[in-house]
Amino acid sequence: MNALRALVWDVDGTLAETERDGHRVAFNRAFADAGLPWHWDVPTYGELLKVTGGKERLLHWWRRVDPAAAAGADAGAVVRRLHERKTAHYVALVEAGGVALRPGVRCLLDEAHAQRIVLAIATTTSAANVDALLRTTLGEAAARRFAVVGAGDVVAAKKPAPDVYRWVLDRLGLPPDACLAIEDSAAGVAAAQGAGLAVVLTRGLYTRDEPVADVLADLDGLDGVDLATLQHWFARRRAPAD
Ligand code: XBP
Ligand code: MG
């Protein structure tokens, strides 16, 4: 079996706790801008996270609260506009320092870079969000360490579909058994495993109780986890044929 060549990171919930105080707040600001009487409180947003992707989540909500309007000919355009506002609010919030990396993440990124382990991203969130988060939390130079960023609409089928991981592996030119995915959610784990990657799970605010199976480690965070530990877990993974 291959040695570990690349770490493929999820973003939301994994690199940073972006959802509750980042994306959720940005959605609510976009609703207020548009004069909509919608507000996603913390538990409601937790339920809505079952739908991955912001535009998909918006449409799902709209169909629930006003199915007739959500079936209108211009519904797709309305969702796109609303989501553009949401992205602008999210980027502003991140650039103002509203979101920090989770404990342990920066150390692991630095260690991997120093040991020439390739860094990549496979996420459902929009590319503008990833860009703002990496530049603000890591700085310009460290943000450029990610060799491949698979984000948002680069694939049509979002997590739990494996497509974004396959997209990233294609561009890395690496087989799945040389890469380790780091994910926070059941949908993310399913996506990575569907593409043949072993996974370390770092549960977050919204994913503490999600049922997840067959991960190399099931953690509440990455604080104190070093690269040698990841490599040790990775070496003990089962081959797909086992
Ligand atoms: C994250 C998501 C994203 C964000 C919002 O899932 O589902 O949709 O909530 O981002 P994962 P956008 O961590 O598994 O990638 O609004 O830009 O879609
Ligand atoms: Mg996630």
Q: Tell me: the pLDDT tens digits for 74-126?
A: 999 999 999 999 999 999 999 999 999 999 999 999 999 999 999 999 999 99
pLDDT value at 241 more than 80? no
Residues 73 and 117 both lie in one domain: no
3-state secondary structure of 150: strand
Q: What pLDDT score does 238 carry?
A: 72
- CA 15 – CA 3 distance, rounded (Å): 23
Residues, the chain: 242
* Nearest CA owner, ligand 1 atom 10: 125
Q: Best substitution site from 57, 163, 207 to test ligand 1's pocket, by max atoms within 8 Å of Cβ?
A: 57
Same domain, 77 and 156: no
- Distance of alpha carbon 166 from the chain centroid: 15
Residue 60, judged by CB atoms within 10 A of its CB (0-12, 13-18, 19+), counts as: middle
Tell me the three state secondary structure of residue 237. Answer: coil
Percent of the chain at pLDDT > 70 equals 98
The CATH number given to whatever domain includes residue 217 is 3.40.50.1000
Mean pLDDT of the chain, nearest integer = 96
Atom of ligand 1 nearest to the CA of 128: 17
The answer, yes or no, to whether residue 239 has pLDDT greater than 70, is: no
154-157: long-range pairs with CB below 8 Å, 24+: 154/127
Query: Last residue of some domain: 60, 95, 130?
Result: 95
- Tens digit of each residue's pLDDT (9 = 90 or more) over 20-66: 999 999 999 999 999 999 999 999 999 999 999 999 999 999 999 99
Whether residues 148 and 195 fall in one domain: yes
Which amino acid residue places its CA nearest to atom 14 of ligand 1?
188
**Residue 47 domain boundaries:** 19-95
Mutate to test the pocket of ligand 1, among 8, 40, 51, 125 (most ligand atoms within 8 A of CB): 125
